[in-house]
Amino acid sequence: MTQQKIASPPSSKKGDLAEEFLDRQTTLGKVRQALHRYPALSPALVLLVSVIVFGLLNERFLRVENLSLITQQVSVVGTIAIAQTLVILTAGIDLSVGAGMILASMVMAQLAVDNGISGVIALFVGLLTGLATGAINGFLVTKFKLPPFIVTLGTLNVFVALTLLYSNGATVRGSDMPDLLTWTGHTFPIGSVRISTGVIVMILLYLVIAYILGKTAWGRHVYAVGDDKEAARLAGIPVNKVLMSVYLAAGSVLAICAWLQIGRTNSASPNAGLDLNLDSITAVVIGGTSLFGGRGSVWGTLLGALIVGVFRNGLSLAGLDVLYQTLAVGILIIVAVSVDQWIRKAKS
Amino acid sequence: MTMTESITPEVTTREPILRARNLVKTFGRVVGLDGVSLDLYPGEVLAVIGDNGAGKSTLIKCLTGAEVPDSGELYVSGEQVSFKRPQDARAHGIETVYQNLAVSPALDVASNLFLGRELRKPGLLGSVLRMLDSKGMRKQARDELTRLGISTLQDVTVPVENLSGGQRQAVAVARAAAFGSKVVVLDEPTAALGVRESNQVLQLVRDLRERGLPVILISHNMPHVFDVADRIHIQRLGKCAATITPQSHSMTDAVAIMTGAATA
């Protein structure tokens, strides 16, 4: 009798505890595993919730014109964030994307307006300039083995100075430019919505880069290099070639972004877009791509850029000062990185 | 060299698959390899043992292209080669499982098996759009794991970081076995494993030998070495102290040679 009494309660209690423990594993653990496996899932949820909340706060928010405006506002940062995603996937960071992009846009605009060169050639030389900024970063990272942070901190200043020297600080108006350069700012109607060509270009770029990252060997190698450089090298991946190609790809993307920037602002200004260096990192981080490399996707980045756009637009519709938008974005970054850390601890 | 010939005369009549002569490798003022020679014959398991810092890992890295020796010659099937990168050794059919595993944690099992030599889809999708044949790679990965008798790995879409140490080791060994056409090199393959997993890896080594694939096995574990090795290369202070067989010497002898307490 006594034996039974002593023996039975602990065993039943033990069973309960074990069950409870397993339960906790299956609910919270499952969520974490799902987020771990699909890094774009958490930004997608954040975007959905924020759209619903802002929609309830202000009925103007969900109108098609406003949603179309958000996509246009997001197009430049959304595009340049593709370049940033590529670099961050390799465990690097590019502080110079915005500066390189502005330099390329000034080359496009001034060649066409000041030098009277045809729009096609001006655009082409501008695109090459953007590519060159990526090539310089890639060369310094792979040949001199400098940390990407240092390299791009340096080139950020170099590109800013070059832009100001080249342009004498003067803004070029869009109305003076050939039509080709401002083409990305044109809008066309789909039903009752007006879509800008710039947004279409951005979406096409996302499709192309997502395909390359997800479906080609090069994409695998980008992830492998960011994940563990030495393991990638021992597995026979030419690490430096992959890194160089990543910076060249980033240069190409920011070159196209320079064209979008001219269309979007209908001008080329040497003082514009410096915020884009950090805004692009913000979009990438909020989109769930890990700053430690090897994890993330461009779709997450698009969601990250949209989240920032929705917050800024929604808060301004709610009549709040710009400062509160900045505050909200800051908090978003910290929350996103915390979630990333938490997800990385997930083990199946 | 004379030692090798005197102990195993029957294998020296055959041509070695891998032959190294007088390899020297220095790191600044530290001498990692001080003129090491090694022969690997078809269908044998050659163990390399030695104390910490004896030059085991450096020797292996020089044989597999992870390090470039300062001087010395390498021959694969009688043809002189020089490896500048791991890819060069792989191109000659030498596959290596490194001690730190060399797997990419965030990539899944199939991606890791094919890392660096991915398969592309047939036709225009593969040649123009460079599209990966993910399905084909997953299928081949499953087949290879089954062929090696690695049954604990069913799902090849799981990221490697979610696997146990033994399972990760199995992925790395499977990769080497799947692509190694001439030599498979295993650096401390049982170091991080439990008893059962160790035995599986040792069985894997025997299976590779059965298939005629020679294996170089680096290990600290004497029972494992004496269990599977045909010959044992003993490194001491950057040199080859002796090459023995499990029949000619005991474990105690091997340890004595390793530590310099005795000579062969």
pLDDT 10s digits, A158-190: 999 999 999 998 999 999 999 999 999 998 888
**Mean pLDDT computed over every residue of chain B:** 86
Quick check: A215 and B132 CB within 8 A? yes
Quick check: A236 and B116 CB within 8 A? yes
Which range, A269-278, A292-301, B102-111, B168-177, is most confident? A292-301
Quick check: B116 and A221 CB within 8 A? yes
Q: Which helix (H) or strand (E) holds A43?
A: helix A41-57
- Residue B151 — very low, low, confident or very high, per pLDDT cuts 50/70/90? low
Interface probe for A, chosen from B92, B104, B160 (most Cβ of A below 10 Å), is B104
CB B35 within 8 A of CB B69: no
In the predicted structure, residue B32 carries a pLDDT above the cut 70: yes
Residues of chain B neighbouring A220 (CB-CB closer than 8 A): 107, 111, 115, 118, 132
For B115, the closest chain A residue by CA position comes to: A235
Nearest CB partner across the interface for B105, out of A221, A227, A235: A227
The predicted model scores a pTM of 0.84
In the predicted structure, residue A7 carries a pLDDT above the cut 60: no
User: In this predicted structure, what is the pLDDT of residue B212?
Assistant: 84
Tokens of A98: 């915005």
In the predicted structure, residue A13 carries a pLDDT above the cut 60: no
Q: A235 — contact with chain B (CB < 8 Å)?
A: yes
- Residue B13 — very low, low, confident or very high, per pLDDT cuts 50/70/90? low
Tokens of A252: 């190409």
User: In this predicted structure, what is the pLDDT of residue B7?
Assistant: 47
Which range, A25-34, A51-60, A253-262, A311-320, is most confident? A253-262
Quick check: A227 and B104 CB within 8 A? yes
Nearest CB partner across the interface for B104, out of A215, A231, A347: A231
DSSP state, residue B107? S
% of chain A beyond a pLDDT of 90: 68
Per-residue pLDDT of A44-54, as tens digits, reads 988 999 999 99
User: In this predicted structure, what is the pLDDT of residue A144?
Assistant: 95
Quick check: A234 and B115 CB within 8 A? no
Residue type, B84: K
Per-residue pLDDT of B209-223, as tens digits, reads 888 889 999 988 899
Q: Which helix (H) or strand (E) holds A23?
A: helix A2-37
Q: A231 — contact with chain B (CB < 8 Å)?
A: yes
In the predicted structure, residue A200 carries a pLDDT above the cut 70: yes
Domains and CATH numbers, chain B: 3-93+180-259 (3.40.50.300)
Quick check: B107 and A227 CB within 8 A? yes
Q: A295 — contact with chain B (CB < 8 Å)?
A: yes
CA separation (Å) from B237 to A303, B55, B244?
Answer: 58, 7, 17
For B67, the closest chain A residue by CA position comes to: A234
A261 burial level (CB within 10 Å; 0-12, 13-18, 19+):
buried
Closest Cα of chain B to A37: distance in Å? 9
Tokens of B63: 């044989």
Per-residue pLDDT of A124-170, as tens digits, reads 999 999 999 999 999 999 999 999 999 999 999 999 999 999 999 89
Alpha helices in chain B (DSSP H): 2-7, 9-12, 56-64, 86-91, 109-113, 124-127, 134-147, 165-179, 195-210, 222-228, 251-259
Q: A229 — contact with chain B (CB < 8 Å)?
A: no
User: In this predicted structure, what is the pLDDT of residue B199?
Assistant: 84
pLDDT mean over A3-19: 43
Q: B158 — contact with chain A (CB < 8 Å)?
A: yes
**Mean pLDDT computed over every residue of chain A:** 88
- Residue A346 — very low, low, confident or very high, per pLDDT cuts 50/70/90? low
Residues of chain B neighbouring A216 (CB-CB closer than 8 A): 130-132
pLDDT mean over B91-98: 89
In the predicted structure, residue B105 carries a pLDDT above the cut 90: no
Interface probe for A, chosen from B115, B120, B152 (most Cβ of A below 10 Å), is B115
Per-residue pLDDT of A61-108, as tens digits, reads 999 889 999 999 999 999 999 999 999 999 999 999 999 999 999 999
Quick check: B106 and A218 CB within 8 A? no
Q: B102 — contact with chain A (CB < 8 Å)?
A: yes
CA separation (Å) from A282 to A210, A225, A337, B108?
Answer: 19, 22, 10, 28
Within its chain, how far is the Cα of B164 from the centroid? 21
- Residue A55 — very low, low, confident or very high, per pLDDT cuts 50/70/90? very high
Q: B101 — contact with chain A (CB < 8 Å)?
A: yes
* ipTM confidence score: 0.79
Q: CA-to-CA distance for A130 and A103, rounded, in angstroms?
A: 7
Residue B174: name the closest of B136, B143, B128 by CA. Answer: B143
For chain B, the C-alpha Rg in angstroms (whole number) is 19
Comparing A242 with A25, which gets the higher pLDDT? A242
